Amino acid sequence: MKYNNRIGSLKREVKKMNLDIDYFKTKLKEITEWYENTRWNNKTLLEKISELDMEINKTRDAENLIDWDKLSHIEEKIVSDMVHLRNKMKLSQKERFDSYYRIK
């Protein structure tokens, strides 16, 4: 009987957490609106890319023990949208940088 109780308590300790969906939805919306509605320069764009990278890394943080097999469709979409936005921002930064040097 004691053995079964010990296993049950271990299972509870190892239980994995899913994403704080509201936090990541808000963060994604905030950065997307900034990107689409602000005239940004290279420095601020790189700062936002770094910020987004940190948020994406939070979803992969071992301390949070995110159970990727149990993510809902919405949670998966938010993470993939964050990665997509980061990649789009990196491309924008690269295109602007390249075009600046092509003109000269």
Q: How confident is the model over 63-81, as pLDDT tens digits?
A: 655 666 777 788 778 888 9
- Alpha helices by DSSP H, listed for 1-104, are 2-14, 21-37, 42-58, 73-103
Is residue 11 domain-resident?
no
Helix, strand or coil for residue 66?
Answer: strand
Q: What average pLDDT score do residues 32-54 get?
A: 88
Is residue 6 domain-resident?
no
Is residue 51 domain-resident?
yes
Is residue 86 domain-resident?
yes
Least confident of 1-5, 8-12, 16-20, 51-55: 8-12
pLDDT at 13: 41
pLDDT at 50: 92
Q: Is the pTM of this model over 0.85?
A: no
Is residue 31 domain-resident?
yes
Is residue 10 domain-resident?
no
The domain in which residue 52 lies consists of 17-103
pLDDT band at 93 (very low <50, low <70, confident <90, very high): confident
Is residue 55 domain-resident?
yes
